[in-house]
């Protein structure tokens, strides 16, 4: 028997049913504010599936992201503010408007031209024309590393940027020295301030190297977690937990985990 696929219209009806007076108690209680964190969570879970090259996981997590869009649109519709049709209309209009080289008569040489046109069109759109600073419009809720990179790239549009990675290395050494000095003075506020400057410069270095700091740190965290779990498995086989071992013993397990995981990848 051929598997049945639900349509987008059926998804809308299911969401409306869940929010109906006789629908799901939990769904009915939600507000834009109560579930706003879910969108970020689902987006990160999709990104994890991408990194794992997990097609099934990507399918499922994209569905969860879509659910958040439909959920918010349904709540807004009930309040008479906007609905999913308006969301789709605005998106389609934006895509057409920002791609005049595809839907209009504008000529572009390469993707750099596309990006320049995109930014020019975007800055002239309704709600953005009153922005006074390059820094306007960057959400404070962005993850810290991502926001730092966004601020830096915005400043670079005005030419406030290093030409390449070489001087950023010098700045990194300077910030490290200032952090060490603050630590030597025992000034907690200064230590935090200088540590932040060091992180900000690391983000800048990544940007100049074409590496996203947020993605790189997430990858490093996953790598650390995988290796640590391997250490725990090794310790379990030996019948001795990690807790209570000497640093030398822990280093030995860590190196073994690195070697084993590296061999599996090869």
pLDDT digits (tens, 9 = 90+) for 33-79: 999 989 989 998 998 899 889 999 999 999 999 999 999 999 999 99
* Model confidence band, residue 142 (pLDDT cutoffs 50, 70, 90): confident
Query: 255 by DSSP, 3-state: which?
Result: helix
Q: Are 30 and 74 in contact (CB under 8 A)?
A: no
pLDDT of residue 109: 92
- Residue whose structure tokens are 């990104």: 47
Judge if 22 and 74 occupy the same domain.
Answer: yes
Q: Are 148 and 203 in contact (CB under 8 A)?
A: yes
Question: Which structure tokens are listed for 169?
Answer: 């290395």
In a domain, 201, yes or no: yes
In a domain, 136, yes or no: no
pLDDT of residue 126: 74
In a domain, 137, yes or no: no
Judge if 182 and 231 occupy the same domain.
Answer: no
Q: What is the CATH number of the domain that holds 201?
A: 1.10.287.1080
7: left (phi over 0), alpha (psi -120 to 50) or beta: beta
Kindly state the average pLDDT of the residues 217-222. Answer: 90
pLDDT of residue 1: 45
- Residue whose structure tokens are 């907690």: 188
Beta strands in the chain (DSSP E): none
In a domain, 176, yes or no: yes
Q: For the segment 235-250, what is each residue's pLDDT rounded down to a tens digit?
A: 999 999 999 899 999 9
17 Cβ partners below 8 Å, 6+ apart? 23
Judge if 164 and 232 occupy the same domain.
Answer: no
Of 196, 191, 189, nearest to 179 by C-alpha is: 191
Look up the domain containing 221 and give its range. Answer: 214-265
| Residue positions counted in the chain | 266
Rounded (5°) CA angle 218-223-228: 125
Which pTM does this prediction carry?
A: 0.69
What share of the chain has pLDDT > 90, as a percent?
78
* Model confidence band, residue 216 (pLDDT cutoffs 50, 70, 90): very high
In a domain, 155, yes or no: yes
Work out how many domains the chain is built from and give that number.
4
Judge if 205 and 161 occupy the same domain.
Answer: yes
């Amino acid at each position: 028997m051929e598997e049945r696929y639900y349509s987008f219209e059926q998804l809308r009806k299911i969401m409306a049913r869940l929010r109906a007076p006789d629908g799901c108690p939990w769904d009915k209680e939600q507000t834009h504010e109560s579930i706003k964190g879910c969108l970020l969570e689902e987006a990160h879970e999709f990104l994890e599936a991408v990194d794992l090259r997990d097609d099934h996981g990507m399918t499922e997590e994209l569905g969860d992201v879509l659910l958040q869009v439909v959920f918010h649109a349904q709540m807004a519709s009930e309040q008479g503010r906007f609905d999913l049709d308006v969301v789709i209309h605005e998106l389609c209009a934006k895509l057409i408007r920002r791609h005049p080289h595809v839907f209009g008569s504008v000529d572009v040489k390469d993707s750099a031209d596309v990006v320049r046109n995109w930014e020019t069109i975007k800055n002239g759109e309704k709600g953005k024309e009153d922005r006074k600073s390059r820094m306007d419009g960057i959400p404070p809720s962005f993850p810290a590393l991502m926001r730092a990179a966004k601020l830096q790239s915005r400043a670079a549009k005005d030419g406030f940027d290093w030409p390449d990675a070489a001087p950023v290395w010098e700045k990194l050494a300077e910030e490290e020295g200032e952090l060490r000095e603050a630590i030597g003075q025992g000034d907690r506020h200064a230590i935090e301030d200088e540590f932040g400057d060091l992180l900000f410069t690391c983000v800048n270095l990544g940007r100049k190297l074409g590496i996203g700091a947020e993605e790189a740190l997430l990858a490093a965290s996953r790598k650390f977690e995988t290796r640590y779990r391997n250490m725990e498995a090794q310790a379990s086989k030996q019948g001795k937990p990690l807790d209570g071992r000497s640093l030398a013993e822990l280093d030995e397990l860590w190196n073994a985990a690195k070697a084993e995981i590296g061999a599996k990848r090869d």
